[in-house]
Each structure stands twice: as C-alpha cells, then as structure tokens.
Amino acid sequence: MPKRYKITIAYDGSAFHGWQKQEPPGEEPLRTVQGELEQVLVRLLGTPKQQLHLMGASRTDSGVHALGQTAMFDADSSIPLERMALAINARLPNDMEIRTCELAPADFDVIGGVTNKQYRYRVFNAEHKPLWVRNAVYHCFNAELDAVKMNDAAQRLIGTHDIEGFSAAGHGRENTVRTIYDCMVFVDPVYPDEIHITIQGSGFLYNSVRIIAGTLVEVGRGRFTPAHIDQVLKTADRTIAGPTLPPQGLCLEWVRYG
Amino acid sequence: MPKRYKITIAYDGSAFHGWQKQEPPGEEPLRTVQGELEQVLVRLLGTPKQQLHLMGASRTDSGVHALGQTAMFDADSSIPLERMALAINARLPNDMEIRTCELAPADFDVIGGVTNKQYRYRVFNAEHKPLWVRNAVYHCFNAELDAVKMNDAAQRLIGTHDIEGFSAAGHGRENTVRTIYDCMVFVDPVYPDEIHITIQGSGFLYNSVRIIAGTLVEVGRGRFTPAHIDQVLKTADRTIAGPTLPPQGLCLEWVRYG
C-alpha cells in the first residue's frame, strides 16, 4: 500500500532551469529541480519512472532559490522514514537538499492545501559588486534606496486585494484576489549593503513577488511615493507598477498548510 | 613616463584556475585571475600585451578566493587615478573586482615588500549541506569540532618557527623559517555552523595554510592534542601533520607592506 510523503527542499536555483521538469522531445532534458529529484527517487524507490509523480507547491522560475519548497510523492518503500531524507540527500547534487521528510495523510494536497507562503527578495544596494552573493541578489548600484519608505509602501500591501496590477500578463488565473498576511522591508543587521523584502501571502500570481519588489525599489529610489501602492491595487493596472526584478534575488522561504 | 600602480583585488576563485596566467602553447588559455585582468588592462591602457606585466603578491591556487590580493603594474595612462578602479571594474567579469587603486613608488615591490598577510580558512561543521556557501567552505560533517581546543592549538603556532612540517613537498624555498603573527579559531557569531581559522604571517610555504587548517581540524576532532602542533614544529615532519584541506575553504584576506 503506497504511502504519501511530504518533503521540504532547499536549493540554490542558479544552475537549474527552474522547478518544473522540462523534457523537450528529441532533445536533452533541461536540468530542473523536479527532474533531478525524480531521477533520484526513481532509482532509490525502484518505482517505474512513469509511475512516480513528484508534485511541488510552487513552480519556481529559472534562477529562483528555495529554502523550504514543499513537494509530495506516493511510494511503497521499506526505507525507514527517519532515514529517507538522508538516503535521498546522499544521491542528490550539492546544490539541492531535502530538509525534512514526513508522512502525510492520503488526501494531502501539496498545492491546493497551501494556506500561506513566504518569499524573500534580496536587494544589494551598494556601488561595489555583490561578489559573494551575486547569484542571490538584485544589484541596485545607481541609487541609495530609502528602506523606511519602502517599508511604508510594503505595509500598504497587507490585506485582501485584487493583485492583478502586480502580475505578468498571461497568468491564466480567473480569481486574482489574494491575501497578503505580511510584507516588510528592512536593512540586513549584519550586512548593511543588503535590503530584504519579505512577503507572506495565501498565494501569488505569475511574477507577482518580483513585480512587487520592483515597485518597492522604485519607492526606495523616490520615483514613486508609498501611496502609489494603493493606486496599483485600486486600478489593477500593471503598466503603473514597477519593473519585474531579475529571478536570482528571489527565494521561496516556506510553505504552510491549514 | 610610466607610473607604478598598486591595486587590491577581490575574487571568487570558484571559476578560476588560480591567479597565475596559464597559456599552454597550442591550446586555449585557461581562465585565470591574472589572465582576465591583463586582458582588460591591455585593452583599457592600450599597452601592447608583451609590455604589460601584472605581478601579484600571492599565486593563489585554483578554487582559492581573495578579498584583498595585491598586484602591481606599470602604465602611462591619462585615466585619472580616482576613475581607474571604476574603469577596470566596468570591464571585468562579475566574479572579480578591483577594490582599490593607488600610485606606488617606482621601487615598490609587490612580492618582496610584503611584511604580513592574512588568510582565512572556513570550515562548515554541520551534518546538513553548505548549500549557499558550498564553494567557500570545507564541509566537515562527520564530527563535532571542538573550536576551543582548536584555538589552543592555533595559539601555539604564533612566533618565529621553521614551518617546513606544514608544507607540501617541492615548495622550492631554501629558507623555511616564517613568523606567524597571529592565529585564531572561533565559531561564527552569526552562523554557528561555521568555524573560522584566521592566520597572519610574514609569509607561508606551498599549501601551508591548508595543511595548518587540516591539522587544527584533527585537533578539533580529538585525534591530535593541541600540543601536537609543537611536535610538528619541532620535528618539521610533514607526515605527522594533518591533511591538506581543499582549496575552496581558503581566502587571502589582505597583504601588508613595510
């Protein structure tokens, strides 16, 4: 009788073409987080490739990182639960790691069951290059950002709104209302060159967090006032929001279930 | 009349075959820090390739990092001194950066003039993978290191000694006496999974810092007592010191002149 496993996964997205498996017919499959993990699971569990379905909570884009992506799969394995993460990790490449592995109820839904998730967007705000974290930040070198104003703007996102104005065209969702539980902007207490944007919400639309980060950075530069956030929410007009910041600054920190 | 420039350079050594230019005849040149920098200087300054001699204080190995490598070159350039670092950096790849650029006396000797340099060796001491710093640490996962004992051992290195026991065969130096001005081991106050080994000295032999780090780690595991350091110094016997730790944990932090 197969059991349902819930895992949390951390990865450095730099060398992955995103989460979702990509196997273009007649070509080499692209290196993806789902693809690498499925390969290991198939070998470890002896499940035929066609029968193993690994489903992730969030299809992170190419270059986007995760500390706590969640995923589920069904398997009939004799490996003791407390050894499962270790057994998987020993076979994974060194830019990804299973952090936890537990059993979930048979009706656990890794996508539909999400109640809250947190992303972090890191902005490196200094003239010099972000040499050591260059694949984990957006480098804003031509303006000194005002993190206090950015945080004022961030507070205005908290609540239940139509977030269509903060989404890329073609997101394909009918319902564009989401609840933002928290949004904060602060300077890193240890590395003052870095500004962190954290956001928690019931869900997001395509590119939402990167567009919200881009809009907050415009506030930080002084191009928008914090009240501009209200305008984007009210009009749902993508063209008046800020730019989509690059993927490498983004990290999926955790996903919570009801 | 050419002027002598002294620069300090930071680089992430992960994607370099070390500092020193390597142009095997009939083959593609390997990617090195010196090679990349010379290419940019030749284009920027208009000096013929054969006439530009960039000399570095330390020939860091493949995979070793630097925060403050120093180097010198002579050039007859009209670029204002305060624009020079910016002009070079704009042309450099994003894994290296000039930190300072200044004029030096015509007799400045970037190698012979060194009076003190500091290296840091980072040990990641936890069972989980060093996902985000994997190219900047040595991963010690099979023992909990005793950083206090390691620091006791480190203190014993301070002073003027023959350090031949802490060097790879074939270092090619006649004089193997060096002065260690300071050596410390401590747990990172922010990330307690990391142990830092810092060492300052008048100079080192080939692989010395990596062998010293390897010996201190053996003390941390409990295989050697701190007093074992005195034995290696007294006997100058490489075979009783610890292993050479991998290059990626090592960083050249700064170089000082008289």
B244 and B197 co-located in one domain: yes
CA distance A111 to A118: 15
| pLDDT at residue A181, rounded to an integer | 98
Say yes or no to pLDDT of B236 above 80. yes
B134 and B7 co-located in one domain: no
Q: Which of B174, B222, B179 shows the shortest CA–CA distance to B199?
A: B179
CA distance A241 to B194: 41
Structural domain tally of chain A?
Answer: 2
B100 and B164 co-located in one domain: no
- Asked if residue A244 belongs to a domain, the reply is yes
| pLDDT at residue A169, rounded to an integer | 80
For chains A and B, CB pairs below 8 A equal 35
- List the CATH number of the domain containing A123: 3.30.70.660
B162 and B193 co-located in one domain: yes
| Closest CB to B12 among A11, A99, A132 | A132
- Asked if residue B224 belongs to a domain, the reply is yes
Point out the domain boundary residue: A61, A77, A104: A104
Residue by residue, DSSP assigns A216-255 as HHHHHHTSS-TTHHHHHHHH--GGGS-----GGGEEEEEE
Cβ B89–A11 below 8 Å, yes or no? no
Q: Does A126 touch chain B (CB under 8 A)?
A: no
B229 and B118 co-located in one domain: yes
| pLDDT at residue B1, rounded to an integer | 82
| pLDDT at residue A87, rounded to an integer | 96
Let me know: does B209 contact B120? Beta carbons within 8 Å.
Answer: no
Point out the domain boundary residue: A76, A104, A132: A104
| pLDDT at residue B241, rounded to an integer | 97
- Asked if residue B109 belongs to a domain, the reply is no
Confidence of residue B223 (pLDDT cuts 50, 70, 90): very high
Percent helix, strand and coil across chain B, each to the nearest 5: 25, 30, 45
Q: Name the DSSP class of B164.
A: G
Point out the domain boundary residue: A104, A128, A157: A104
Q: Does B12 touch chain A (CB under 8 A)?
A: yes
> With a cut of 70, which residues of chain A have pLDDT below it?
none
Q: Does B44 touch chain A (CB under 8 A)?
A: no
Chain A residues with beta carbon closer than 8 angstroms to that of B94? 129, 131, 134
Chain B residues with beta carbon closer than 8 angstroms to that of A10? 131
B118 and B93 co-located in one domain: no
Q: Does B189 touch chain A (CB under 8 A)?
A: no
Model ipTM value = 0.84
| Closest CB to A134 among B94, B129, B132 | B94
- Asked if residue A109 belongs to a domain, the reply is no
* Helix or strand holding residue B212 (H, E): helix B208-221
CA distance B40 to B54: 11
| pLDDT at residue B258, rounded to an integer | 86
CA distance A26 to B59: 46
- List the CATH number of the domain containing B78: 3.30.70.580
CA distance B239 to A137: 44
Which residue is closest to B98 within chain A, CA to CA?
A128
| CA of B10 vs chain A CAs: smallest distance (Å) | 8
| pLDDT at residue B173, rounded to an integer | 81
Kindly report the three-state secondary structure assignment for every residue of A93-144: CCCEEEEEEEEECCCCCCCCCEEEEEEEEEEECCCCCCCCCCCCCEECCCCC
A242 and A190 co-located in one domain: yes
- Asked if residue B150 belongs to a domain, the reply is yes
Which residue among the candidates A12, A61, A182, A230 is catalytic per the annotation? A61
- Asked if residue B129 belongs to a domain, the reply is yes
- Which residues share a beta bridge with A65? A251
CA distance A162 to A237: 11
Q: Where are the beta strands (DSSP E) in B87-192?
A: 96-104, 114-124, 138-139, 159-162, 177-187
Q: Is A61 a catalytic residue?
A: yes
Let me know: does A138 contact A130? Beta carbons within 8 Å.
Answer: no
B94 and B119 co-located in one domain: no
What amino acid positions of B are annotated as catalytic residues? 61
A76 and A181 co-located in one domain: no
Q: Does A85 touch chain B (CB under 8 A)?
A: no
Q: Does B188 touch chain A (CB under 8 A)?
A: no
Which residue is closest to B85 within chain A, CA to CA?
A128
Beta carbons within 10 angstroms of residue A177's beta carbon: 12
| Closest CB to B10 among A10, A94, A131 | A131
B183 and B162 co-located in one domain: yes
| pLDDT at residue B190, rounded to an integer | 85
Instruction: Match 């670092």 to its residue by tokens.
Output: B85
| pLDDT at residue B238, rounded to an integer | 95
Note the pLDDT tens digit of each residue in B54-79.
999 999 999 999 999 999 999 999 99
B152 and B229 co-located in one domain: yes
The boundaries of the domain holding residue B61 are 3-104
- pTM of the predicted protein model: 0.90
| CA of A204 vs chain B CAs: smallest distance (Å) | 26
B62 and B173 co-located in one domain: no
Residues 6+ apart with CB under 8 A from A167: A176, A204, A205, A206, A207, A208, A211, A238
CA distance A146 to A113: 37
Percent of chain B with pLDDT over 90: 92
* Helix or strand holding residue B252 (H, E): strand B250-257
Note the pLDDT tens digit of each residue in B90-100.
999 999 999 99
- Asked if residue B209 belongs to a domain, the reply is yes
- Asked if residue B222 belongs to a domain, the reply is yes
Note the pLDDT tens digit of each residue in B122-157.
999 999 999 999 999 999 999 999 999 999 999 999
Q: Does A193 touch chain B (CB under 8 A)?
A: no
